[in-house]
Structure 1
Amino acid sequence: MSSLCFQNSRFADAADVAIGFGGAGAVAALQARKLGADVLAIDCFGGGGATAYSGGVIYAGGTKYQRESGYNDTADEMYKYLNEEGAPVKPETLRPFCENSNADIERLSSMGVPFGTNAFEVTRLIVDRDNRVIGVEANPLPEAHHKAHQACYKLVHPWLPFNNRRSRKAMAAAQALEAREEPNQCTFIRARNGVILTTGGFNRNEALIRLHCPFLAKYYSRLLLLGSISDEGSGLAMAEAVGGSTVLISNISVARTLASPQAFAKGLLVNNMGERFISEAAYAMFVGDAVLDQPEGHAYVV
């Protein structure tokens, strides 16, 4: 750090510190708490991270919820399916992911995450002026589950400088902080055992996109960025600053979807040479990655 402020400073102490209080950070913090450590979870914003904006999809096979829905699935079938589809990880990584998926579901359920036994029910589709589907409206989390979530939340002592209640005043607060003449108040946090970095990716950082995926950077202004505004690579910078290493950082998933998806199945997906380059029924992320590999990154559905 170029400068440190000790005047008007506060100090905090915990065995483990989780930086980034999204889905991964929350689970890591709760596991450390379960093992007996006192934990401090930190987030720049209101918590939730990209998980809060996700579609709520969790891959699993052989769960009781599938059986209760009438689906006879297994972890082995899940493995064979993902392996056939072309998983981006090695079999020795994919296999335990599938075999442990049911335990992951049970663990989340024990934390108060609700899983239904019916197919996902959409109450209505949200369309634009051209009748294109741009979103769905679904039933919210039942009130009965809020208490279970809150109990888990309090276990890890979350410290959220800009929590949801304060976010309504965030702009005014930021302007006030900039205008203050006295030194900003700092909070120094000491982790006795370790620090867990779960701060998300970096798709909100155009400079990092240009560095690690220059071809995609050409279309940055036209991309619909998923995740949250906190995905700006700060965790990567923190890790590298203390000697951490990164791997596969240039592997960026790009989904190319159509609404409705049947348009892919009823046509041919070709590049600007008129060549078909992937099955139209492939997963959206695979389609997006394949399109990027085509001349000029262009493709058409005919």
Structure 2
Amino acid sequence: MERDFDVIVVGGGGAGLCAAIEAQGAGASVMVLEADKHVGGATLQSGGVFYAAGTSVQKARGIQDTADAMYEYVMNLNQWEFSPAILRLLCDHGPEAIDWLIGHGAEFPPEWLMCSGVDSVPRGHPSRGGAGSVGETIVRAFEARGIETAVATRVESLIVEDGRVVGVRAAGAELRAGAVVVTTGGFGNSREMLERYWPSMAYHGDRVYAVHWHAPFILGDGLRMGEEVGANIVGFDTGLPLPASGAAGRVVEPFLPPWIVLVNREGRRFMDETVTYSVSGYIINSQTDRRAFAIFDEPTLATASVDTAYSDPYHSELAATTWDHQTIRNRIEKGEVFVADSIDALARKLGVDPISLGVTVENYNADCDRGIDGEFLKQAERRFAVRKAPFYAIEVRASVIGWTSCGPEIDSQCRVLDKHQRRIPGLFAAGEVVGAVQGKRYAGGGLSIANAVILGRLAGQNAARAAAQ
């Protein structure tokens, strides 16, 4: 078969660039096709955290951790509804991927290591340079290789001959290759895709947007192209939902302020308000009407809301301002915040059971006086009583997309599989486009970048190998 390139990579985000670097390093001629005007994709919009275990960074801080321990944690968190083979790749190759990024100039200060999920070992590796810094590292490494790239070029479909993917159609032309790697990202910017593949998120209607909304071509192209060639689509109705206050603009605010009291339609608290975003959105979406209300009083607004440090634990330099003092005052003036002179009146405005909310606030205040949280064990310095009118409430929904998890199924070599578990010759996939990489719950901040780098590199290596056969 005549070919234009050994490997074509569809999508120039983090996974695609890693795939291209590795494929070229294995001796393949490579072309990257990117729909946007520049490469980098959603990885450039990330918080710059990498999730891994047993790394050189952990060892530098004296932390003992292993890939096996990470594997056990993620599998248990997801109640084993996760591909063991794919998770083993993410666990086993994490240390190597961290060192690869460091070798290309990334910095992961050991003192910044943190528990970015609900695990007990610090596996979240924030990178120096803030949000997008890991993506910038990958882009620099890619550009240094001189790999042929066509931006503003959206791939329309895959070419299949005799059951094998042999190229792509884009911009009115056909390009042939020995292997194709699809790394087009998720579908968070497509309303139609959300309704089909993540209906529980689409439920939130106009409040829904993706954290990477300004990467406009994350529209599910890879999922669609995979379906067209018979790929098995897995991970239906899963993803990472993030909480949001509904403030104007598409703001990323995954960390709720510690000073609120979060209640559901029944007027009851249902979680520690400071729990990590890796689980908070799921908890909120399990409540009646998939919504909650953040309750606080005037003294709390006047004092606690001036501190926004809680919203940037990853050193991403992206502290959210949606819960700061002035933003809330402005929203109150616009009538976007529920206000009342009593808890009973506030409950009626919210449509919340007034008796139950009264008991909730009474118990919470009593716990604040005793220096405890008898229900959810929230840390003492993060608790503020709700006593002095006016009383306020802001509706909270988990309506922001952190990561979509529905897409083509792959095997441990990143080969795309059909509905009968047979590999589709010539077709590979990596990154957010891959289905069921996450499972039912998000393990911790930085897993999405780990997916992009680790699976991207493996897909590139295996695609180059397949093209050489």
Q: 1:70 to 1:257 in 2, by over 3 A?
A: farther
Following superposition, the deviation at residue 86 of structure 1 comes to 4.2
**Residue 424 of structure 2 aligns with which residue?**
none
The equivalent position to 2:284 in structure 1, one of 275, 278, 291, is 291
User: Structure 1, unaligned stretches of length 5 or more?
Assistant: 1-10, 122-136, 163-183
Count of residue pairs brought into register by the alignment = 251
Q: 1:285 to 1:189 in 2, by over 3 A?
A: same
Q: 1:293 to 1:15 in 2, by over 3 A?
A: same
Aligned pairs for 1:149-164 (under 5 A) are 149-152=142-145, 154=146, 156-161=147-152
Q: 1:149 to 1:78 in 2, by over 3 A?
A: same
Following superposition, the deviation at residue 150 of structure 1 comes to 2.9
1:255 aligns with 2:248: no
The equivalent position to 2:217 in structure 1, one of 223, 230, 248, is 230
Tell me the alpha carbon deviations over residues 3-47 of structure 1, each in whole angstroms, 9 at most, x when there is no partner.
Answer: xxxxxxxx9811111100111111122222222221111101111
TM-score with structure 1 setting the length: 0.69
Q: 1:85 to 1:92 in 2, by over 3 A?
A: same
The equivalent position to 1:21 in structure 2, one of 12, 29, 36, is 12
**Structure 1 letter corresponding to 2:243:** R
Among all aligned residue pairs of Structure 1 and Structure 2, give the percentage whose two residues are the same amino acid.
28
User: Structure 2, unaligned stretches of length 5 or more?
Assistant: 114-128, 154-169, 246-252, 296-469
**Residue 206 of structure 2 aligns with which residue?**
221
TM-score with structure 2 setting the length: 0.46
For residues 285 and 278 of structure 2, the distance between their equivalents in structure 1, rounded to whole angstroms, comes to 11
Q: Conserved in 2, the CA contact under 8 Å of 1:18 and 1:197?
A: yes
Q: 1:214 to 1:267 in 2, by over 3 A?
A: same
Structure with the larger strand share? 2
Tell me the alpha carbon deviations over residues 98-142 of structure 1, each in whole angstroms, 9 at most, x when there is no partner.
Answer: 2321122123334x1412334459xxxxxxxxxxxxxxx849969
For residues 117 and 288 of structure 1, the distance between their equivalents in structure 2, rounded to whole angstroms, comes to 28
For residues 29 and 44 of structure 2, the distance between their equivalents in structure 1, rounded to whole angstroms, comes to 25
Q: 1:206 to 1:287 in 2, by over 3 A?
A: same
Q: 1:262 to 1:49 in 2, by over 3 A?
A: closer
1:244 aligns with 2:231: yes
Aligned pairs for 1:70-149 (under 5 A) are 70-83=62-75, 85-86=77-78, 89-90=82-83, 93-110=86-103, 112-120=104-112, 138=130, 148-149=141-142
The equivalent position to 1:57 in structure 2, one of 31, 46, 49, is 49
**Structure 2 letter corresponding to 1:58:** F
**Residue 22 of structure 2 aligns with which residue?**
31
Higher-Rg structure is 2
Tell me the alpha carbon deviations over residues 227-274 of structure 1, each in whole angstroms, 9 at most, x when there is no partner.
Answer: 22111111222222222221113213211268795744x665432113
Two-structure CA RMSD over aligned residues (Å): 3.6
Following superposition, the deviation at residue 288 of structure 1 comes to 0.8
Q: Conserved in 2, the CA contact under 8 Å of 1:66 and 1:117?
A: no
